[in-house]
Amino acid sequence: MSHSHHSEIHVMQRSGWLRAAVLGANDGIISVTSLIMGMAASGASSHTLLITCIAGLISGATSMAAGEYISVKSQEDIEKSDLRSEAHELEKNPHAELKELTQIYISRGLSPELAHEVAVQLTAHDALGAHARDEIGIHENTAANPVQAALSSAASFSCGAALPMLAILLSSHEWVAHSVLITGVISLAVLGALSSYFARTSMLKGSVRITLWGILAMAFSAWVGSLFNVQPI
């Protein structure tokens, strides 16, 4: 008699780095490409566009890393504060906390007797872990990791911003704006499809959503830049 091992692969553990990576790459492509489109519409030279692109990559990557670190670090501090408070309550009022955990399981559909037994066993195994997971909502897979989020954001922003820079380097001056635009649109479409693939959602919807918003941002930047393109008389 054979026994087949049944296991499911979930993507929730990817949520932290995937969110930061997609946000960073998306911001890198859209912001730097939009910046270049605006500068190109103002009549800037290819050399100026390249310098602008490099400056946008460096400043954007550092800004993304700092912002992501501060944001996630604040979340981590809140989680640690809640855990300290919960640990204090477990030490001070263990019976009240056991009753609270029991009520949580009852509200989720367990009978009072079974809910109490589950609460007792989980408390004996890891009381703080049970309360962190079922009362506060802190899970190991989704816990804040500021350093990972910061590095992921900076790296993904740099990768995204490097694409318009390559377009500038590989195209002639006459085709710079078109090359950057086409590269940006294709990059956004691929990014949307990849992020949806890893998240196991519709690749077409993800691709279209990111691409449309990116095109709107680029078009607006190009329009603003064209206002400063004063042709000599």
In sign, the C-alpha dihedral spanning 193, 196, 197, 203 is negative
Predicted pLDDT of residue 9 = 46
Q: Is the dihedral of CA 144, 145, 146, 151 positive or negative?
A: negative
Residue 183 tokens, joined:
């590269």
Check residue 6 and give its pLDDT.
Answer: 47
Which residue is listed with tokens 């196991």?
200
Query: Residue-wise pLDDT tens for the chain (233 aa)?
Result: 445 554 444 444 445 556 667 778 888 998 899 899 888 888 888 899 999 999 999 999 999 889 889 988 888 888 888 888 888 878 888 888 888 888 888 888 888 889 888 888 888 888 888 888 777 777 665 566 788 888 888 899 999 999 999 999 998 888 888 899 899 999 999 888 887 887 778 888 888 988 898 889 888 888 888 888 755 44
Give phi and psi for 200, each to the nearest 5. Answer: 60, 45
Whole-angstrom Cα Rg for the chain: 25
pLDDT of residue 1: 46
8 φψ region: left (φ > 0), alpha (ψ -120 to 50), beta (else) = beta
Tokens representing 33 are: 């490409």
Neighbours of 207 (CB within 10 A): 20
Rounded CA gap, 140 and 13, in Å? 8
Rounded to 10 degrees, what is the CA torsion of 39, 43, 46, 50? -20
Q: Indicate the pTM of the whole model.
A: 0.69
What confidence score (pLDDT) does residue 94 get? 83
Confidence (pLDDT) at 142? 58
Sign of CA dihedral 128, 130, 133, 134: negative
CA distance 206 to 22: 11
Residue type, 86: E
